[in-house]
């Protein structure tokens, strides 16, 4: 067959999802001509900065049922997608191409080189080996279905595709032509942000961390446990980021103004903490309260909280009043804080929203109402917590498309 008779697959977006999809299609379907169009002069730029430059490429959890709980948008619908191409498959895929990976204690996986460039080199090398054409500085401005093909308006002129894959990430710039087609779009809201809090109890304590806290957002069902960190602007750390992801839409509706209840001692109940104070009174009445924080709280944080509860430096456990114990207990197990605004979490900021999942058949990632149009990656209303899950959603989608196209 001559070159010109090859069916043409165009992939819009030279990011994680676009490259992975292109490579796998080219490998499995050598009779297709595969073309990647990238708006900017950079390829895989988010992969480059991901994971602090190390690229948290996937996660060591392997079962689909272990993975889906990490996706606030997507969730159980992704079960069959992960069944077809899971994290272990990605590890094998990379290994087969000479990229070794390793797992950290929290189950995040990175290339053993600890450099995102290793992933970029692998992807660009594979694309070149398989004859994938990549055109940079080529933004797609409009798409239209003709009888059996798709016609594109790009910054480098018109193009025709037999199969069209949209992998443009979270930028809403393509939403215009996608919604013009009639695709249902879920408006974008940020996910994975930290809470801005101005409060005497935490001011000046940036860098202070807590190994396990519990945070509830009042007036909602949102509740999360995990490590927490005091920053210059307020509160951050896994427990906060998880809340921001699950509450992305609800908290946007509140305009990022809400109240949280913090239990600094994780699962410890009010009664258990009160009991702890009673024990101290009994066993160590002469000990100075400020010198003996409960649990794993740091001295600095505990001193500040004691002062806030009007405990003097010389006060010992034997002396503090019932009222003071009540106040301390409340501050420890259900400290009420006002959140006013959010800050971006630079490590792994994502946008929730995008093309509604109901628009695609997740067995193929083809648009239900538009034959030969596929969507992959963050352009879809799929997003996850930190840990390599966002990339895995790209890898799994790309693989599934390449299997069924
Ligand atoms: C700082 C940072 C760190 C991160 N770290 C991690 C991590 O360690 N692990 C993890 O799992 N996730 C991480 N994420 C999330 C992850 O980067 C994204 O989920 C992922 O990149 C989404 O891939 P994508 O291919 O859908 O979109 P992108 O990677 O954003 O790629 C989309 C591409 O499409 C191009 N494009 C857009 N519009 C057009 C158009 N009209 N025409 C042509 N091209 C177009 C864009 O220029 C871009 O190159 C991180 C995110 C950030 C911001």
Q: Which residues neighbour 77 within 8 Å (Cβ) at sequence distance 6 or greater?
A: 357, 362
Tokens (6 digits) for 311: 């405990």
Domains parsed from the chain with CATH numbers: 3-189+348-404 (3.50.50.60), 193-344 (no CATH)
Confidence check: pLDDT of 339 > 90? yes
In the reported structure, the alpha carbon of residue 108 is separated from the centroid of ligand 1 by a whole-number distance in angstroms of: 19
- The best mutation among 40, 48, 50, 360 to test binding of ligand 1, ranked by most ligand atoms within 8 Å of the C-beta, falls on 50
Which atom of ligand 1 is closest in space to residue 13's alpha carbon?
A: 34
In the reported structure, the alpha carbon of residue 47 is separated from the centroid of ligand 1 by a whole-number distance in angstroms of: 7
Q: What tens digit of pLDDT does each residue of 181-224 get?
A: 999 999 988 899 999 999 999 999 999 999 999 999 999 999 99
**φ and ψ at residue 69, rounded to 5 degrees:** -65, -10
pLDDT for res 172: 80
| Contact by Cβ (8 Å): 249, 189 | yes
Which atom of ligand 1 is closest in space to residue 379's alpha carbon?
A: 26
Give buried/exposed letters for 212-242 (b at 16+ CB in 10 A, else e).
bbbbbbeebebbbebbbbbbeebbbbbbbbb
What is the rounded CA–CA span in Å between residue 290 and residue 311? 8
- pLDDT band, residue 5 (cuts 50/70/90): confident
- The best mutation among 13, 48, 346 to test binding of ligand 1, ranked by most ligand atoms within 8 Å of the C-beta, falls on 13
Q: What tens digit of pLDDT does each residue of 340-386 get?
A: 999 987 666 778 899 999 999 999 999 999 999 999 999 999 999 98
Q: Nearest-CA neighbor of 376 among 404, 345, 346? A: 404
Confidence check: pLDDT of 114 > 90? yes
Query: Can you list the pairs that 291-295 forms with residues at least 24 positions away whose Cβ atoms lie under 8 Å?
Result: 292/317, 294/265, 294/332, 295/264, 295/265, 295/266, 295/268
What is the rounded CA–CA span in Å between residue 261 and residue 273? 16
What is the rounded CA–CA span in Å between residue 355 and residue 361? 12
In the reported structure, the alpha carbon of residue 255 is separated from the centroid of ligand 1 by a whole-number distance in angstroms of: 26
In the reported structure, the alpha carbon of residue 92 is separated from the centroid of ligand 1 by a whole-number distance in angstroms of: 23
Q: What tens digit of pLDDT does each residue of 242-270 get?
A: 999 999 999 999 999 999 999 999 999 99
pLDDT for res 2: 44
**φ and ψ at residue 242, rounded to 5 degrees:** -65, -45
What is the rounded CA–CA span in Å between residue 397 and residue 362? 8
| Contact by Cβ (8 Å): 199, 343 | no
pLDDT for res 350: 79
Please report, for residues 48, 254, 308, the alpha-carbon distance to residue 342 in angstroms, rounded to integers and kept in the order given.
25, 12, 25
What is the rounded CA–CA span in Å between residue 121 and residue 34? 19
- Sign for the pseudo-dihedral over CA of 273, 275, 277, 280: negative
| Contact by Cβ (8 Å): 333, 276 | no
Q: Which residues neighbour 332 within 8 Å (Cβ) at sequence distance 6 or greater?
A: 263, 264, 265, 268, 273, 294, 305
Q: Nearest-CA neighbor of 258 among 354, 353, 163, 339? A: 339
pLDDT cut 70: percent of the chain above it? 98
Tokens (6 digits) for 140: 């797609």
CB-defined site of ligand 1, < 6 Å = 12-18, 37-40, 45-46, 49-51, 55-56, 139-140, 167-169, 171, 173-174, 347-350, 377-379, 388-391, 394
Q: Which residues neighbour 126 within 8 Å (Cβ) at sequence distance 6 or greater?
A: 23, 27, 97
What 8-state DSSP symbol labels residue 72?
T
Q: What tens digit of pLDDT does each residue of 273-289 get?
A: 999 999 999 999 999 99
């Amino acid at each position: 067959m001559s070159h010109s008779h090859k069916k043409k697959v165009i992939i819009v977006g030279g990011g994680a999802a676009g490259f992975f999809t292109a490579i796998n299609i080219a490998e499995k379907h050598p009779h297709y001509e595969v073309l990647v169009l990238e708006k900017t002069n950079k390829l895989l730029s988010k992969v480059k900065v991901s994971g602090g430059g190390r690229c948290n490429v996937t996660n060591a959890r392997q079962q689909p049922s272990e993975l889906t709980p990490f996706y606030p948008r997507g969730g159980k619908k992704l079960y069959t997608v992960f069944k077809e191409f899971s994290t272990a498959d990605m590890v094998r895929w990379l290994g087969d191409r000479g990229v070794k990976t390793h797992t950290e204690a929290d189950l995040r996986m990175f290339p053993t080189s600890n450099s995102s460039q290793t992933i970029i080199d692998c992807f660009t090398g594979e694309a070149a080996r398989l004859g994938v054409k990549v055109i940079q500085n080529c933004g797609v401005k409009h798409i239209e279905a003709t009888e059996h093909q798709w016609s594109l308006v790009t910054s480098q002129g018109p193009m025709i595709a037999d199969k069209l894959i949209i992998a443009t990430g979270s930028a809403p710039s393509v939403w215009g032509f996608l919604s013009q087609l009639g695709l249902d779009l879920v408006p974008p809201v940020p996910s994975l942000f930290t809470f801005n809090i101005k409060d005497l109890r935490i001011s000046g304590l940036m860098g202070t961390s807590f190994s396990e806290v519990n945070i509830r957002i009042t007036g909602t069902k949102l509740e999360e446990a995990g490590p927490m960190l005091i920053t210059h602007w307020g509160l951050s750390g896994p427990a906060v980021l998880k809340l921001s992801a699950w509450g992305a839409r609800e908290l946007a509706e509140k305009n990022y103004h809400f109240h949280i209840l913090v239990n600094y001692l994780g699962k410890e109940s009010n009664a258990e903490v009160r009991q702890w104070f009673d024990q101290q009174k009994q066993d160590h009445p002469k000990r100075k309260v400020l010198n003996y924080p409960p649990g794993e709280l740091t001295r600095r944080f505990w001193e500040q909280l004691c002062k806030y509860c009007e405990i003097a430096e010389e006060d010992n456990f034997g002396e503090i009043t019932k009222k003071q114990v009540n106040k301390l207990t409340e501050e420890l197990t259900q400290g009420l804080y006002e959140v006013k605004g959010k800050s971006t979490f630079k490590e792994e900021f994502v946008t929730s929203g995008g093309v509604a999942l109901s628009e695609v058949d997740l067995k193929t990632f083809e648009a239900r109402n538009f034959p030969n149009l596929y969507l992959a990656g963050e352009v879809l209303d799929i997003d996850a917590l930190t840990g390599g899950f966002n990339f895995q959603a790209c890898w799994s989608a790309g693989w599934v498309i390449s299997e069924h196209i």
